[in-house]
Amino acid sequence: CFILSLSLFIWLGNRFISAASDPDGPLFHKGWYHLFYQYNPDSAVWGNITWGHAVSTDLIHWLYLPFAMIPDRWYDMNGVWTGSATLLPDGRIMMLYTGSTNESIQVQNLAYPANLSDPLLIDWVKYPDNPVIVPPNGTETDEFRDPTTAWMGPDGTWRITIGSRYNKSVGLSLVYQTSNFTTYDLLEGVLHAVPGTGMWECVDFYPVAINGSTGLDSSAMDRVPNTYLRLVWMTQKGTTTPSGFMTLQLINGHRIIQKRMWALGLQVDYGRYYASKTFYDQSKQRRVLWGWINETDTETDNLAKGWASVQTIPREVLFDNKTGANILQWPVEEIESLRLRSTDFTEIVVGPGSVVPLSIGQATQLDIFAEFEIEMVSETKHEKYGCRGGAVDRSNLGPFGLLVIADQTLSELTPIFFRPVNTTEGTVETYFCADETRSSEASDVYKQVYGSTVPVLTDEKFQMRLLVDHSIVESFAQGGRRVITSRVYPTKAIYGDARLFLFNNATGVKVKATLKIWDLNSAFIHPFPFDQN
Ligand code: DQQ
């Protein structure tokens, strides 16, 4: 394990590594951020699911700790699956997680720290009378999992929600009530259900301020009716990305009285990203989001390299006041502590069909801010909608943007770009896209073009911020209104051979680009000093 973690650290530079999947139970306790995660200690493919544990004081530099929980009881013998933490007003920490039993039935279990005065929360105790919730009648026993952080209803008792599936095809979120975290009542009705969506994994439910950036603990969700949205993200099993969110108003702490459907269909992240989970960081009063970046190469490749998957840089979640209809995600400010030298480029003109190198040297660990303005040079009527055709699909107003993780000869490159499109109604609609199709000369890699429309308001330029980290690019458009995470496998555009370029593949506009680019230092990720197997 020691050697493995070290080599991961070198390969991925900044990134906190987990060799498995979902972030679990993130929390802040006595000056330390804790991240637990789904982890297979025995292999680079999913199985034997254990809770890995790592801590940090700044969400950037990490120290691995001993496993928090291993599958060692009948009620979690087939895996200590995903769960969430609730911090009680008296300081106790309740960790609810799904156990897959010796008969592969999904039950909910309770665990808590053995010693709350230990800032590292190293030892965890499983409640002796687990499980605390078994699948209710009518629920598929293997589709009932991933309890959320609890919130308090007006009656002073707690609610949690758990994703499930009904009739093989209706994804839904059940609500339970508890006063002690050991006994639970299933409440009538559901938080929400959507036919045709299948199992909802890793439902997340939390408040986001409509005005300002102050976050709020989930437990207080029911006590601030008008100034916070209550937001549900659900992850739809079988898709690669979380599939949407909605806002709810609660009555009696759990019954819905209002749904604002504008948000349905939006994704947390349009790229390679799954099983996200937030927590309230009481030290900085903010809502912080984690997500799992899954691999896109083959299982054989993962077994050969001995590990799989990484976590995103944590992001703050905010409401987008300007559009009134979007959530913003933004890398936590602590990432700025890794910034080294910066380079500015002002109003670089990129003509139609051209590529301009940005002379910053090695371009493997970067924090890039780029702004683009466009100026019409000719009117051509070739318009293709969307991201699907990638960066080579030329149209009048786009695509234009950056080629990241590219080698000098452009045999490997990952374009991150905007494509504004004239609609038949005479307006302009902008797409934000990441094209991985030429990201690697390796053949056994799943390469896709990701993207979505993004609102660009009339007083705004086209803006993107990219965090580039060797084989991961996290791309934020318009202040975080849209986010795309890319996992790529360059074979040539690596280390000293990785370069950065501007490109404009529009036929009818020239682009003026202004950029500020920081080299990023590596984060310190300290492996646990001995093999835990
Ligand atoms: N991963 C966990 C489940 C969850 C799924 C098992 C989502 O609890 O539903 O490893 O990736």
The confidence score (pLDDT) of residue 470 equals: 96
80 lines ligand 1 (CB under 6 A): no
- Of 149, 166, 283, 269, nearest to 221 by C-alpha is 149
- The mean per-residue pLDDT over the stretch 174-190 comes to 95
> β-strand 482-487 against 472-477: which pairing, if any?
antiparallel
Q: Is 270 left (phi over 0), alpha (psi -120 to 50) or beta?
A: alpha
Distance 293 CA to ligand 1 centre (A): 13
Residue 252 reports pLDDT greater than 90: no
- pLDDT band at residue 81 under the 50/70/90 scheme: very high
> Which atom belonging to ligand 1 lies closest to the Cα atom of 20?
10
* Lowest-pLDDT range of 120-134, 256-270, 321-335: 256-270
Q: Output the CA 36–ligand 1 centroid distance in Å.
A: 13
Cis upstream peptide for 225 (omega within 30°): no
Which atom of ligand 1 is nearest to 38's Cα? Answer: 10
Highest averaged pLDDT of the listed ranges 65-79, 295-309, 315-329: 65-79
Atom of ligand 1 nearest to the CA of 235: 7
Q: ipTM of this predicted complex?
A: 0.99
Residue 531 annotated in active site: no
CA pair distance 137, 135, nearest whole angstrom: 7
| pLDDT tens digits along 465-521 | 999 999 999 999 999 999 999 999 999 999 999 999 999 999 999 999 999 999 999
Dump pLDDT digits (tens) for 185-215: 999 888 888 888 788 899 998 888 888 888 8
pLDDT at position 6, please?
30
The DSSP bridge pattern shows strands 158-166 and 185-195 to be: unpaired
Catalytic residue among 22, 217, 281, 435: 22
Distance 408 CA to ligand 1 centre (A): 40
Q: Which atom of ligand 1 is nearest to the CA of 274?
A: 11
User: Among residues 239, 215, 217, which one has the least CA distance to residue 317?
Assistant: 215
Among residues 277, 313, 271, 411, the alpha carbon closest in space to that of 13 is found at: 313
Per-residue pLDDT, 16? 47
CA 459 – CA 479 distance, rounded (Å): 14
CA–CA gap between residue 415 and residue 496 (Å, rounded):
19
Distance CA 97, CA 36 (A): 11
Instruction: Report percent pLDDT > 70 for the chain.
Output: 89
Cα gap 469→403, rounded to integer Å: 14
Residue 66: the pLDDT is: 95
- CA of 246 from ligand 1 middle (Å) equals 21
Tell me the CA–centroid distance for residue 113 and ligand 1, in Å.
Answer: 22
- State the sign of the Cα–Cα–Cα–Cα dihedral 253, 254, 259, 261: positive
Pocket test for ligand 1, best of 22, 37, 234 (most atoms within 8 A of CB): 22
- Indicate the residue type of 74: W
Amino acid at 138: G
* Residue of 109, 140, 142, 202 with the most ligand 1 atoms within 8 Å of its CB, for mutation: 202
Degrees (nearest 5) of the Cα angle 305, 412, 362?
A: 85
Q: Are 121 and 139 in contact (CB under 8 A)?
A: no
What's the pLDDT at 3? 29
413: its two tokens: 């490159």
Distances (CA, A) of 140 to 106, 167, 171: 9, 8, 12
| Phi, psi (deg, nearest 5) at residue 275 | 55, 45
pLDDT digits (tens, 9 = 90+) for 17-42: 445 799 999 999 999 999 999 999 99
Around Cβ 334, how many Cβ atoms within 10 Å? 18
Evaluate whether 1 touches 533 at the Cβ level (below 8 Å): yes
Go through the domains of the chain in sequence order and give each one's CATH number: 19-308 (2.115.10.20), 337-520 (2.60.120.560)
Q: What is the mean pLDDT of residues 157-174?
A: 91
Whose alpha carbon is nearest atom 5 of ligand 1? 201
Cα torsion 253, 257, 263, 268 to 10°: value is 20
Over range 63-92, report the average pLDDT: 97
Confidence of residue 161 (pLDDT cuts 50, 70, 90): very high
Other Cβ atoms closer than 10 A to 89: 9
What are 338's two structure tokens? 């890794």
pLDDT score, position 237: 72
For the chain, how big is the Rg over CA atoms in Å? 23
pLDDT at 15: 47
CA distance 201 to 343: 42
> For ligand 1, is residue 21 a contact (CB within 6 Å)?
yes
Cβ within 8 Å of residue 404, ≥6 positions away: 363, 366, 368, 413, 414, 415, 416, 466, 468, 473, 500
